[in-house]
């Protein structure tokens, strides 16, 4: 029975990694679409959101079925519960990628200023955070989960610094208003994605130690 449960959880983890890879790509593609004003790529991201939603539904349904039919022990129950929580955070991250993609049509013809360059750095960090967080979950690496949260501090700092600069530029230059508004929305979406990765790190700790910690303070 333990081998059966172990194999089922291993299969769920494989699906979870596949979903996370897709979400990571969605976020990266949405920013590329924005940076290059690529409407075709933006529409592809929006279309692929259904795939993310289907991943979430399928994984959650499998978790519920296993809990209902297999009567898992406490450790396995925590694993299944954690998986269902992680896919919820991943799905919400993908929603932000859709929001970013929808902004592409509103920046056509704009030459982005150097002041918005922190956005491109933010996306590099958050996509790395997603990949690292899922690896930490699969490996049960609590120490790495804490390290990933330190990366989120960098995302927050980039957001706060750019927020101040862009607002200042918008107040002095009307031509910056549209560009600045869209970039502030996008950077906020990326900051929220970082928060969702931090949520995943909290679930990693819960999974291994059986206690909940708040890392989003």
Q: What is the pLDDT of residue 2?
A: 67
Distance from the first to the final alpha carbon of the chain: 41
Q: What is the pLDDT of residue 61?
A: 95
Q: What is the pLDDT of residue 197?
A: 96
Query: Quick one: fold of 2-209?
Result: Methane Monooxygenase Hydroxylase; Chain G, domain 1 (1.20.58)
179, 107 Cβ separation under 8 angstroms: yes
Stated pTM of the model: 0.92
* CB-neighbour burial class of residue 69 (10 A; exposed 0-12, middle 13-18, buried 19+): exposed
Q: What is the pLDDT of residue 132?
A: 95
pLDDT tens for the chain, residues 1 to 217:
567 888 899 999 999 999 999 999 999 999 999 999 999 999 999 999 999 999 999 999 999 999 888 888 888 899 999 999 999 999 999 999 999 999 999 888 877 778 788 899 999 999 999 999 999 999 999 999 999 988 999 999 999 988 888 888 788 777 778 878 888 899 999 999 999 999 999 999 998 888 888 877 6
Q: What is the pLDDT of residue 129?
A: 95
């Amino acid at each position: 029975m333990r081998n059966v449960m172990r194999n089922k959880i291993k299969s769920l983890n494989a699906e979870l990694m596949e979903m996370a890879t897709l979400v990571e790509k969605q976020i990266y593609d949405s920013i590329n679409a924005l940076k290059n004003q690529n409407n075709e790529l933006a529409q592809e991201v929006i279309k692929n959101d259904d795939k993310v939603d289907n991943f979430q539904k399928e994984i959650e349904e499998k978790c519920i079925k296993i809990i209902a039919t297999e009567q898992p022990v406490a450790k396995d129950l925590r694993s299944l519960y954690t998986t269902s929580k992680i896919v919820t955070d991943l799905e919400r991250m993908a929603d932000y990628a859709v929001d970013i993609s929808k902004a592409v049509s509103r920046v056509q013809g704009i030459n982005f200023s150097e002041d918005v360059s922190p956005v491109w750095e933010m996306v590099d960090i958050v996509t790395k955070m997603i990949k690292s967080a899922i690896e930490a979950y699969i490996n049960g690496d609590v120490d790495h989960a804490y390290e990933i949260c330190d990366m989120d501090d960098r995302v927050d700092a980039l957001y706060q610094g750019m927020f101040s600069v862009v607002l200042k530029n918008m107040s002095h230059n009307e031509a910056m208003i549209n560009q600045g508004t869209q970039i502030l929305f996008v950077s906020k979406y990326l900051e929220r994605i970082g928060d969702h990765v931090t949520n995943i790190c909290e679930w990693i700790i819960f999974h291994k130690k059986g206690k909940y910690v708040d890392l989003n303070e």
